[in-house]
């Protein structure tokens, strides 16, 4: 049972901080997974007797190809810029995409924290259920529906797992941060 009454304002404040922090944790998790995947790819190629001199070149080419693809958050940033009559320079797209990612993650943190204030059951699974819900509703439904990514049926199953894992990490970090901040308030 709660000691104090639910507060929407407290939910907003904790949600902003927790949403931003959880997005940062998710971002770092994705970088870690990417580095691990790169190392695994290198080890597979070495096991297949590929030349150790060619592997860094192939990986650099792969990274360059990925860097030239416009991600969903970069598409949103570009569309926002276009709606305001501006044009995003190529070197600004990544930063603008990150800003969109952090803004969305922070907003979803507010939604979660306010919901947790009003309906404590929202915190089921220490935030991981919310992370899964966010993955399904945003990554698997909304993003493709707005043509910001290809349909889920065209994605590699491994990509689905990586994105789901990232959102589970986000949800867990969100609840941990929210509950810690809430104790201080």
60-105 pLDDT per residue, tens: 556 555 555 788 999 999 999 889 998 888 889 999 999 999 999 9
Q: Which two tokens stand for residue 109?
A: 């943190």
pLDDT at 1: 38
35 in Cβ contact with 57 (< 8 Å): no
| Cα diameter, the chain | 65
User: Is residue 165 within a helix (H) or strand (E), and if so which, with residue range?
Assistant: helix 157-184
Across residues 141-159, what is the average pLDDT?
A: 91
Instruction: Give the predicted TM-score (pTM) of the model.
Output: 0.83
Q: What's the chain's average pLDDT?
A: 88
- Which alpha helices (H) appear in 48-89, and where do they start and end? 54-68, 72-83
pLDDT at 62: 60
Of the pLDDT bands very low, low, confident and very high (cuts 50, 70, 90), residue 54 is low
Q: Would the CA dihedral through 118, 123, 124, 127 be positive or negative?
A: positive
Q: Which two tokens stand for residue 26?
A: 């998710």
Alpha-carbon separation of residue 184 from 75, 161, 166, 181 (angstroms): 38, 35, 27, 5
């Amino acid at each position: 049972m709660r000691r104090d009454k639910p507060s929407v304002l407290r939910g907003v404040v904790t949600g902003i901080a927790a949403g931003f922090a959880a997005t940062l944790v998710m971002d770092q998790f994705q970088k870690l997974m990417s580095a691990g995947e790169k190392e695994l790819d290198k080890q597979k190629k070495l096991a297949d007797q590929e030349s150790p001199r060619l592997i860094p070149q192939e990986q650099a080419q792969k990274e360059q190809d990925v860097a030239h693809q416009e991600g969903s958050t970069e598409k949103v940033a570009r569309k926002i810029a276009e709606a305001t009559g501006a044009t995003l320079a190529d070197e600004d797209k990544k930063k603008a995409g990150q800003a969109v990612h952090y803004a969305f993650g922070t907003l979803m943190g507010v939604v979660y924290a306010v919901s947790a204030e009003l309906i404590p059951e929202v915190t089921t699974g220490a935030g991981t259920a919310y992370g899964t819900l966010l993955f399904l509703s945003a990554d698997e439904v909304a993003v493709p529906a707005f043509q910001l990514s290809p349909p889920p049926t065209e994605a590699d199953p491994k990509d689905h797992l990586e994105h789901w894992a990232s959102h589970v990490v986000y949800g867990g970090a969100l609840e941990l941060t929210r509950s810690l901040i809430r104790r201080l308030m």
